[in-house]
Structure 1
């Protein structure tokens, strides 16, 4: 089950469509959907988590905590709506497009994809693009 929680004024317009898409993404990676919680927040909220749990004193758009068991995906994914807006402007894409990228990015981590090195990052971007394209087909 995919849940959406809000620690900011932001709210998704299409929770059911997003949850359905993310469920299809999980299935397309031969994984099972467990309980995944998205928590939408602001920079300050996510920065505190980054410092407290990861010892990183930086702003970020997403932090995911993976509690998966075998092929069943579980976890908490924190998303800074402020970072997503800024990144969308920086990358010259719509807010909705950047939001989809961030949402699927967390799932891709749970599926075992990394983004620390250049090769890993290229594969991650490729997988994100592939999964974002799945959303457009379903609408």
Structure 2
């Protein structure tokens, strides 16, 4: 298995040709960031939403009743997520021989790294505010969210410097400069 991106568009009207181009860029960013972090297997789910959709998630999971630009929900850190698995899942089409870790054998959720949710209207507004392209802002938010999935945070100045330096390195390699 490789590092892969699955995406959902919850916005009214859904995805179109423009969004398909975004996914190519985001898959490239995922590959670069994954290689830099020596994390090359797993599944990342990206949900594109609007300000109201992300506001609801922000309220529900962080207690903040306001929209934000990106949220990350890691399945790697802390306590195990409250996902119920009843053992009836058939596994991948390739069969159970694909499972390398016996503790995770047959568990359909073991390859999931987590979910990233991005507010597209907020990304568009921030791109304009910061004077760079929408693609650069979307890429920044995606890499930011991915690093959160891996356990990075920006709770203090040192953590913030480290995380933002990693983000900029990935974006630069992908050609998404300010």
TM-score for the superposition, normalised by structure 1: 0.86
Query: What's the counterpart of residue 7 of structure 1?
Result: 10
Q: CA deviation at 1:126?
A: 1.0
* Equivalent in 29, 41, 45 of residue 21 of structure 1: 29
- The structure number with the bigger radius of gyration is 2
* Deviation larger for 107-116 or 125-134: 107-116
The number of residues matched between the two structures is 135
Per-residue CA distance 1:78-102 (angstroms, 9 max, x = gap): 0000111111112111111111100
Greater relative CO, 1 or 2 (CA 8 Å, sep 6+): 2
Stretches of structure 2 that go unaligned for 5 or more consecutive residues are 78-110
* Equivalent in 53, 58, 61 of residue 45 of structure 1: 53
Q: CA deviation at 1:104?
A: 0.5
* Equivalent in 56, 81, 86 of residue 125 of structure 2: 86
Stretches of structure 1 that go unaligned for 5 or more consecutive residues are none
Q: What aligned pairs does 1:1-139 form with structure 2 within 5 A after superposition?
A: 1-8=4-11, 9-10=14-15, 11-68=19-76, 74-136=113-175
For 2:175 and 2:112, the matched residues in 1 are separated by 23
Contact preservation (8 Å) 1:23, 1:33: no
SS of residue in 2 equivalent to 1:79: strand
For 1:28 and 1:76, the matched residues in 2 are separated by 20
TM-score for the superposition, normalised by structure 2: 0.69
Q: CA deviation at 1:16?
A: 3.4
Q: Which has the higher helix share?
A: 1
Q: Which has the higher strand share?
A: 1
Q: CA deviation at 1:136?
A: 2.4
C-alpha spacing 1:73/1:111, structure 2 compared with 1 (3 Å): farther
Q: CA RMSD in A?
A: 2.0
SS of residue in 2 equivalent to 1:114: coil
